[in-house]
Amino acid sequence: MTISSTPPDPEIWATIDRRLRTGDEDRWLSSRYAEPDARNDLIALYAFCWELARVRLIVTEPTLAAIRFQWWRDALAELEEGRPPRAHDVVSVVAVMLDRSALTTADLVSIIDGYEAAFEQNDRALEPEAVIARYASSIVAPSVDLGSDVENLALEFAAARRGDAVASPAPITPLPSSVLPSLAHLRLRKLYARGAAPRPLSKRLSVFRAVLSGKV
């Protein structure tokens, strides 16, 4: 899929990067350890996910939510057809990410489906956290297959961050160093499990330790 439009300029990337830091600092912290192009692709993926995740914060009516989710499906369909990205900064960086990563528009549609199902059933446990972790790791290490263990860690991280009880927390788990820029934040599940919101410095140190040790 080749998009015939002017690539987003550095200020667009910087604006989205700042927005993600505010909206989803945990994933943003991990992405700091990626190489520049991979970091931008992670930021594009995570910014796309944040646009979907915050639908529940913006609207409560199912019809209005359905319109927003469909807007993103339509935007991806246009990219798949080779049409220029819509006039939305996240769509423009997603187009770049799709061009240079192994991810497809179908992959991103599956993320939309997950967030929409979670909204419709009012159950955040249905949000596609495991899918996001798998796609993020494929950006930084496309040849590494992590299997279901990391997906389980992603679900545990998401539950702990929401404040949900985790029945059987997984131990600190070693991972290949190549995937850590996409998954080091999963170690934060240990901080969230303590109940209180982690301090910013504690989160940064936890992610740094994950990258340094290779364990999340």
CA distance 163 to 183: 20
Q: Minimum mean pLDDT among 35-39, 40-44, 63-67, 142-146: which range?
A: 142-146
CA distance 141 to 163: 30
What would the pLDDT profile of 180-212 be if each residue is shown by its tens digit? Answer: 999 999 999 999 999 889 999 999 999 999 999
* pTM recorded for the entire structure: 0.95
Number of Cβ within 10 Å of residue 3's Cβ equals 18
Q: Minimum mean pLDDT among 115-119, 158-162, 164-168: which range?
A: 164-168
Q: Are 215 and 174 within 8 A, CB to CB?
A: yes
What would the pLDDT profile of 69-90 be if each residue is shown by its tens digit? Answer: 999 999 999 999 999 999 999 9
Per-residue pLDDT for 33 more than 60? Answer: yes
Enter the tokens of residue 195: 């109940």
Mean pLDDT for all residues in the chain: 95
SS3 call for 60: coil
Per-residue pLDDT for 18 more than 90? Answer: yes
Helices (H), 83-188: 89-100, 105-120, 129-140, 147-162, 180-183
Enter the tokens of residue 163: 């404040």
Enter the tokens of residue 216: 């999340």
What would the pLDDT profile of 94-144 be if each residue is shown by its tens digit? Answer: 999 999 999 999 999 999 999 999 999 999 999 999 999 999 999 999 999
Which residues are bridge partners to 174 per DSSP? 215
* Side chain identity, residue 128: P
Residue 179, C-beta contacts closer than 8 angstroms, at least 6 positions apart: 137, 140, 141, 144, 146, 150
Write down the pLDDT at residue 5. Answer: 62
Q: Are 52 and 72 within 8 A, CB to CB?
A: yes
Per-residue pLDDT for 24 more than 60? Answer: yes
CA distance 91 to 95: 6
Q: What is the chain's percent helix, strand, coil content, to nearest 5?
A: 70, 0, 30
CA distance 30 to 44: 14
Write down the pLDDT at residue 1. Answer: 55
Give the pLDDT band (50/70/90) at residue 4.
Answer: very low
The residue-averaged pLDDT of 156-166 equals 95
Give the pLDDT band (50/70/90) at residue 3.
Answer: low
